[in-house]
């Protein structure tokens, strides 16, 4: 039903959000804003793109930088490796990886995906399968591989259709199942997002992994690897690699939701997928190390302080409480999605079980994006999804119920 003819929806009950306290006793919402470096008057409700670093984490990164500059040789030859090993250990425990030795630090999820895809042996060709909701970086990398292979590598995009994500898990699993059956025996790599960005939806990764390893997908052929692009997952939802089926590869950013600085991410490679020359980092350095950890540990002279600061990001999260962070932000996002849809007479474009900190609401005027960003200084994401205009909202611990009011009045030309 077009937005202009959609009936009004009942208002959702007000959450107890403004009364939720962090583990250290601080109120979530506006009281948290002072702990971050956001400019006065700027409302950052697109936290998912670039994140925001807490002041204490930024201070810690600065201290690492000073330590590096005070004794550069000691930093690059000794101290840094101690820091990064601590970060890897904390990340491995957080995502329930079998071992910290199966996980390396990289600058971002894009670099991790490129590292895997571009260092695979594509001499025999084959199909790279990905969903239509894949991040553009994945599609662009696959396209580069196809062009570079003289046609032996083919890309197949699985269209999720206009009912995604409103139709739930079936809107992903059914078209993927059909594509796997159609290309049985030809798929060399499947790439899927854990949380898609536009529209924002959490995909059923355990079910996808089981499907990709099933006889209906493989037939008599060998199992193909699955690369999970979890760029948005770390710090937003619980990640349990072993419970989800232990994917071949899993990547995620620490700067989006974990509170770490830009330039911090990880690549997990299941032990049986680690080889002498695979995967390789995007930069092969002078270290000469051939083991999986060693190849990625040092990739030339660069700023490694974001890797080290992951430890401090975990400390900041612990001060707020992991469960408290997720309960507050998810509760606020759920209420805000229903509240905006009710005010605008539109709909929430995602089932509750596929929604976390990010949500999508149908809107009437995509042209308001310029007004949001340049006049009202509110950063949001707007796009066309299927048949709908969508406004994507991204929340974090400084979000509050009163912040929602600035959204409500603009698309409706009304005031609350």
pLDDT in tens, 185-230: 999 999 999 999 888 999 999 999 999 999 989 977 789 999 999 9
Q: Which fold, 62-316?
A: 3.40.640
pTM (predicted TM-score): 0.90
Pick the range with the lowest mean pLDDT from 187-191, 338-342, 359-363, 378-382: 378-382
For residue 28, give the DSSP letter: S
The lowest-confidence range among 1-15, 125-139, 362-376 is 1-15
Q: For residues 6 and 150, which has the higher predicted lDDT (pLDDT)?
A: 150
The predicted structure's pLDDT at residue 358: 87
The per-residue pLDDT for 197 is 86
CATH 3.90.1150 positions along the chain are 3-34+321-412
User: Can you spell out the DSSP letters for 241-307?
Assistant: HHHHT--SEEEEESSSSS-PPSS-EEEEE-GGG-BTTBS--SS--SS---SHHHHHH--SSS--HHH
Round to whole Å and give the CA distance between 120 and 221.
18
Q: Which residues pair with 339 in a beta bridge?
A: none
Structure tokens at 74: 């000691």
Provide the 10 A C-beta neighbour count for residue 121.
9
pLDDT score, position 250: 98
- Given a cut of 80, whether residue 402 has pLDDT beyond it is no
Q: Does the pLDDT value for residue 309 go beyond 70?
A: yes
Q: Cα separation of 314 and 102, whole Å? A: 20
How confident is residue 161, by pLDDT bands cut at 50, 70 and 90?
confident
Residue 3 is predicted with a pLDDT of: 40
pLDDT at 363: 72
Quote the pLDDT of residue 322: 96
Question: Read out DSSP for 157-183?
Answer: EE---TTTTTTTTHHHHHHHHHHHHHT
Residue 13 clears pLDDT 70, i.e. is over it: no
389 confidence band (pLDDT: 50, 70, 90)? very low
- In this structure, the dihedral spanned by the alpha carbons of residues 329, 395, 316 and 254, taken in order and rounded to 10 degrees, is 120
Residue from 53, 104, 72 nearest 256 by CA? 53
- When pLDDT is cut at 50, 70 and 90, the band that residue 301 belongs to is very high
Across the chain, mean pLDDT equals 86
Q: Where, residue-wise, is CATH 3.40.640.10 in the chain?
A: 62-316
What's residue 397's pLDDT?
67
Average pLDDT on 143-166 reads 93
Residue 379 pLDDT greater than 50, yes or no: yes
- Residue 158: what pLDDT? 98
**pLDDT computed for residue 319 by the predictor:** 96
In the chain the first and final C-alpha atoms are separated, in Å, by 25
Alpha-carbon distance 371 to 201, whole Å? 26
Confidence of residue 378 (pLDDT cuts 50, 70, 90): low
Q: Report the CATH fold assignment for 3-34+321-412.
A: 3.90.1150
Residue-level pLDDT at 416: 27
Res 410: pLDDT: 42
Question: DSSP H helical segments within 71-130, as ranges?
Answer: 72-74, 80-94, 109-119
């Amino acid at each position: 039903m077009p937005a202009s003819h959609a009936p009004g929806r009942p208002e959702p009950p007000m959450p107890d959000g403004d009364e939720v306290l962090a583990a250290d006793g601080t109120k979530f919402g506006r009281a948290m804003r002072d702990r971050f470096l956001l400019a006065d008057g700027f409302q950052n409700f697109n936290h998912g793109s670039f994140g925001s670093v807490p002041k204490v984490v930024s201070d810690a990164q600065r201290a690492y930088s000073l330590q590096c500059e005070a004794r550069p040789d000691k930093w690059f030859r000794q101290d840094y490796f101690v820091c990064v090993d601590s970060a890897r250990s904390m990340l491995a425990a957080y995502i329930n990886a079998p071992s910290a030795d199966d996980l390396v630090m990289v600058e971002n999820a894009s670099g991790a995906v490129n590292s895997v895809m571009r260092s695979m042996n594509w001499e025999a060709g084959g199909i790279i399968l990905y969903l239509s909701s894949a991040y553009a970086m994945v599609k662009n990398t696959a396209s580069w591989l196809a062009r570079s292979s003289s046609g032996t590598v083919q890309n197949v995009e699985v269209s999720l259709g206009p009912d995604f994500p409103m139709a739930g898990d079936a809107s992903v699993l059914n078209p993927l199942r059909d594509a796997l059956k159609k290309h049985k025996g030809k798929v060399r790599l499947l790439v899927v997002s854990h949380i898609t960005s536009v529209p924002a939806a959490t995909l059923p990764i355990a079910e996808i992994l089981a499907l990709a390893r099933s006889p209906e997908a493989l037939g008599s052929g060998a199992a193909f690897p699955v690369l999970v692009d979890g760029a948005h997952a770390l710090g937003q939802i619980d990640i349990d690699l072993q419970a989800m089926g232990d994917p071949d590869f899993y990547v995620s950013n620490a700067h989006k939701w974990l509170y770490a600085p830009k330039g911090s991410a990880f690549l997990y490679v299941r032990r049986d997928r680690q080889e002498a020359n695979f995967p390789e980092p995007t930069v092969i350095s002078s270290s000469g190390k051939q083991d999986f950890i060693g190849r990625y540990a040092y990739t030339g002279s660069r700023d490694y302080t974001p890797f080290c600061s992951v430890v401090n990001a975990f400390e900041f999260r612990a001060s707020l409480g992991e469960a408290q962070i997720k309960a507050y932000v998810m509760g606020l996002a759920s209420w805000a999605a229903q509240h905006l849809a009710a005010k605008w007479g539109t709909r929430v474009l995602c089932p509750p079980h596929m929604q976390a900190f990010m949500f999508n609401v149908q809107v009437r005027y995509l042209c308001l994006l310029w007004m949001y960003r340049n006049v009202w200084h509110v950063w949001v994401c707007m796009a066309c999804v299927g048949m709908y205009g969508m406004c994507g909202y991204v929340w974090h611990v400084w979000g509050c119920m009163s912040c929602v009011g600035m959204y409500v009045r603009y698309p409706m030309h009304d005031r609350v």
